[in-house]
Amino acid sequence: MVTLFVSHKIAGPMFRFEEELKRIGEGDLTNKVMIRKKDQITDMAVSLNDMIAGLRAKVLDVQTEVEHIRQSASRQNAPKALIEELDHLHQKIGSNFKI
């Protein structure tokens, strides 16, 4: 009976981690792993949430920087092809990541 109890305390959170890792792999950086405080692997959930937040911040930084470069290129009358490529890159980041 104790083995069954312990396995549920680990299997449930591991299932949630697996599902969250799939979402991250698909570019979804909006979720936060929530597990019960009594679960055995709360430290792992904290680390995973920290990783998600770090990735989200980095993707936002890159997206913001691309937009700033695009605006600067536009103000400096850069070639239209360059501005279009920067627009495309900005849109691609937005479509590949849910932040």
13-66 pLDDT, tens digit each: 788 889 999 999 999 999 888 877 766 688 888 899 999 999 999 999 999 999
pLDDT at site 8: 66
Specify the 3-state DSSP secondary structure of 78: coil
State the Cα–Cα distance between residues 70 and 64, nearest whole angstrom. Answer: 10
pLDDT-derived band of residue 11, with 50, 70 and 90 as boundaries? confident
Q: Which helix (H) or strand (E) holds 31?
A: none
Tokens standing for 18?
A: 């697996």
d(C-alpha 37, C-alpha 13), whole Å:
11
Asked whether the beta carbons of 69 and 59 are under 8 A apart, the reply is no
- Structural domain count of the chain: 1
For residue 5, the model assigns a pLDDT of 55
33, exposed or middle or buried, with CB in 10 Å at 0-12, 13-18, 19+? buried
In the prediction, which pLDDT does 17 show?
87
Taking the whole predicted model, whether its pTM rises above 0.85 is answered as no
pLDDT (0 to 100) of residue 60: 97
Residue 28's SS3 state is strand
